[in-house]
Structure formats: C-alpha cells, structure tokens
Structure 1
Amino acid sequence: MSGNTGYAEIAKYFRQQITDGTLAPGDPMPTQKQVREQFATSIATVNRAFQMLKAEGLTAARVGQGTTVADRPRIAATASARLRRISRTGRPYGAREESIEHTADLLSCADPDVADALGIELHDEILVRTRVFVRNGVRTIAAFSFIQPRGWAAVPETLSSEPMGRFWQEMYTERTGRETTKLPELSGARLASRKELEMLHVDVPPYAAVPVLVLTNTFHDEDGPLEHWQDIYMPGLWRPDEE
C-alpha cells in the first residue's frame, strides 16, 4: 500500500494488524516518520490516522516509549477476520489469544432463528459446539457453532469437545467433495442469555438485562445450510469496520 494513501486507509491497515495479532498488546507502533515513508504520504495524514487509532482505544501514548498498542484494546476480531487470518497466515489465533472451555453436544434445536438458518424443523437434533475466546487474559467472545447432521456424519471428530486443530469444513470437503460457501456476515444486538453471560463471566443480578453485540455467519454446501455461527461479544467490546 503506497502513494497518496488517506488517513482512514492507514488506520484500517494498522487496525487489521492489531486485530490479527500481528501487532500485540504492548508492542511499539512504528514511528510516524516510518509510516509516512511506508505510505508515501504527509505527516499530517499519518498523525490523523494515529489520532483515530488512539480514539478507538487501540493505541496509547507512553512516556519514553512513543505510541504502543493498548494493553487491552477494546476490539475483538470477527469470525470473517479469523477466517481471513487463517487463510493468510495459517494462525488460528491472534497474539496472546486462545480459546478455552470447548464443548460439543448433540441437542434438540429450540431456537427458531438457528432452525431457520440451518433449514431444519424446530427441535430437530443438531450438534452444538461452544468455546470462549480470551485475549491477553480477558474474555472477549462466547462462540457458538450449530452443525447440521450431515456435517458431523461426515466428520465425526466434531462430536469431540477437543479443539479440532484445523477448520473442520476443510475435512468435510476432502471427504465429501462438496465445497462450502460462507454467506455475508451479519451483525445485530440483543439481550444476552444467562449461559452467554456465564461464559463471558459477566456477573450481574439474575433480573439484569445486558445488551450484547452478536455476529452471525452461515455456511452452505450444494445441499443447503451446513453450519451456523453466533459470536457474542463481551459488553464494552466492538468489532472493526472491515469493509
């Protein structure tokens, strides 16, 4: 990226690096002079980009250290960003990120939205996999994966609560010859369930209403819906604009 680059593009570039974990919490940012030379733009443009990143809570100024990535950036990677990172770098996690508390259960689908996304009848049996993303010691996302029966029939490894080690849909394609396609990522807000609050360790009274950001992704193969994801963000976190 170079030549008359605007401040928003520069901010987006470093925002993605922070989200991906290429720049980890506490890492020094390049100097404004280095960024100016990298993007062949003015120092005023670079300064405005740095101001945007600071305003978003992604960076902080430290005496004697210059600008660094914030210790706890108020941002969490979207599922689409995670998939792009895996494709680009092969890394399933960003810097200082991990997933914990993995579960896998065959359950009756009681959620009309999930049933609709998977193209099944309410109360049909589905596989529900869950995990919690943690970054720099802080819980960021409660992640749910709802999988059609033909998915776990082809890849029975998904029935184990152990981490897969690779994206299970790759194994599905290898074994069935069916390619999968992700529909556009959707975002919305709703009140968190008790289970979601427990996964995120949000301690509030039982009657409290806690709004959360929810991102959904649905995957299809030639036979229809295969998998549906729901990512529930810790209150106070937000997703980056990745368009």
Structure 2
Amino acid sequence: MPPIRRYEEIAAHYRRLIQDGDLSPGDSLPPLRKVCDEFSVAMATANRAFQLLKSEGLTEATSEGTVVAARPDVAVTGAARLKHLERTGSTRFPGETSSNHWHGLRSVADPLIAELLGVEPHDEIVIRRRVHHREGGPSTFDSSYIHVRALGPVEELLGEGPMERFWQEIYKERTGRELIKSPERRTARIISQTELEALGIDMPADRTAAVLVVVNVFHDEEGPLEVWEDVYPPGAWQVDTE
C-alpha cells in the first residue's frame, strides 16, 4: 500500500471531525495559513487537502472562507461506521437514527453471499437488516449476513429489536477472538423492490435504477463470520475514509 501523503492526512483529519459531528454543516474550517502552521506544511499542500474535501462534497467555499457543506448526497460507508465505533464506541453518527429493523434465521438465497460467508446456497444463516437515517444526508439500507456459529456466544442476535451494542464487540469479549476485515468491495446493481420500499423510494414499475453496493467481510480464526452489505439510494455517493 502506498504511503499516505500529507495532504491526505490533513483531509482525513477534517473529514473525521465532520463525520463525528465536531464540525457541523455551516461551520468554518480554519484559514489555510493556520492549517499550514498546525501541520507544518506548505500552502500548496494545505490547499490541496481542502480541494479534496470540496471534491468529496464535504465542504464548500464561501465569501467567509471554507465551510462544512450540507452534504445532501454523501452517505456514510460501512468502513467509516466501524472507524467511528473504534473512536467513540458507537456505530451511529451524530443525529443519525435507524428504523425498519428486522432479523431472523433464513436460508441464504444469494450465491455470492453464500460464497463470501463460506456456506452452501440455501444453508441457514442469521440475517439482520436496518435503515440508517442521517439528517442532511441520504438513508442507507444495511444488511448483515452472519454465520450461525455466532449464535453460540451471541444468542442476542435473535433478540427483539436493535442490539444495544455492536454484536461483534460482544462476540470478541466472550470468545477472545479477534475479527479481521477483508478489503472493502464496491459494485453496482439494479435496486430491488425490497430496497425501494425500505428506503421509501416511490418509483414507477416500468423504471429501474442502479444503486451503489459496498460489502465488508469479517473473519475470525475459523473463517468468515459476517458479510455486511450497505446499499445506497440512487444518486447517493460515498467517500472512502480508510
């Protein structure tokens, strides 16, 4: 992996502040000269970092300087959600809510999910689904496909309603096993009727739309344990924060 360049480090610093809610829409970023002093970089480096944030839709230039944008089309990635968990202990960002929680034991119908989870098509797995809503941004439809062996240490996976803690944290506490995340995968496909309904999108029956799909796979020493799939609504895009 190539080394992270200084302007990328600076952009990542302010991106985290924006995502964690320390900088809200309309808040000003420091003047470039102050950024140069704080990070000991040249003006061109600081300016390149600010241009990167602007290209991601996170900031905008005004007569008063650079401010945090409303971000109406930028959605949260699964990787960003996990990084936020490491920093704050929560998978939810400031102002974020969730709805349409569903969970149950079902046979896995998608052959790709079966392959990634290391099971046979139509084997029984745990499926947990929810819709995340974030003020000023698009909702995302998230699905977790979990190997049934996780039910031994974390029987709460089939409990009523959303879990109070991220289930992987409970699993690690009770088993002593570390979970490793594979590189994030991104693809696009046609949105399904289930996803349209979950995201509250009203689309004529004779029309279709493509959606961005981001997949993270988690393993422990026995093999794949969870496939986490994020589906972003048509027109939404996400920023790579890893």
Structure-2-length-normalised TM-score: 0.87
Cα displacement string for residues 100-143 of structure 1 (whole angstroms, at most 9, x for unaligned residues): 22111221211111111112221122111011111115443110
Aligned structure 1 segments of 4 or more residues deviating by more than 6 angstroms:
none
CA distance in 2, matches of 1:45, 1:171: 42
CA distance in 1, matches of 2:168, 2:12: 29
Distance 1:22 1:76, change over 3 A: farther
Aligned to 1:24: 24
Confirm or deny: 8 A CA contact 2:95 2:134 kept in the other structure: yes
Aligned to 2:183: 184
Is 1:196 aligned with 2:199?
A: no
Cα displacement string for residues 151-194 of structure 1 (whole angstroms, at most 9, x for unaligned residues): 12321211124221222122223333433222221111111111
Distance 1:30 1:100, change over 3 A: farther
Residue 144 of structure 1 deviates from its aligned partner by 0.2
CA distance in 2, matches of 1:16, 1:102: 27
Distance 1:9 1:175, change over 3 A: closer
CA distance in 2, matches of 1:208, 1:160: 37
How well do the aligned residues superpose, as a CA RMSD in angstroms? Answer: 2.2
CA distance in 1, matches of 2:162, 2:223: 26
Matches within 5 A, 1:1-243: 6-62=6-62, 65-136=64-135, 138-243=137-242
Residue 73 of structure 1 deviates from its aligned partner by 4.8
Residue 56 of structure 1 deviates from its aligned partner by 2.7
Residue 67 of structure 1 deviates from its aligned partner by 2.5
CA distance in 2, matches of 1:154, 1:40: 48
CA distance in 2, matches of 1:132, 1:77: 12
Partner of 1:229, secondary structure, is: strand
Runs of at least 5 residues in structure 2 that lack an aligned partner in the other structure: none
CA distance in 2, matches of 1:128, 1:91: 21
Structure 1 counterpart of 2:71, one-letter code: R
Distance 1:161 1:26, change over 3 A: farther
Partner of 2:85, secondary structure, is: helix
Partner of 1:190, secondary structure, is: strand
Structure 2 counterpart of 1:33, one-letter code: R
CA distance in 2, matches of 1:159, 1:194: 25
CA distance in 2, matches of 1:235, 1:19: 21
Distance 1:73 1:6, change over 3 A: farther
Residue 232 of structure 1 deviates from its aligned partner by 0.6
Structure 2 counterpart of 1:205, one-letter code: P
CA distance in 2, matches of 1:189, 1:39: 38
Distance 1:154 1:96, change over 3 A: same
Runs of at least 5 residues in structure 1 that lack an aligned partner in the other structure: none
CA distance in 1, matches of 2:8, 2:220: 36
How many aligned positions are there? 238
CA distance in 2, matches of 1:81, 1:161: 26
| Range with greater deviation from structure 2 (54-63 or 215-224) | 54-63
CA distance in 1, matches of 2:113, 2:236: 24
CA distance in 2, matches of 1:222, 1:28: 46
Confirm or deny: 8 A CA contact 2:79 2:241 kept in the other structure: no
CA distance in 2, matches of 1:93, 1:220: 23
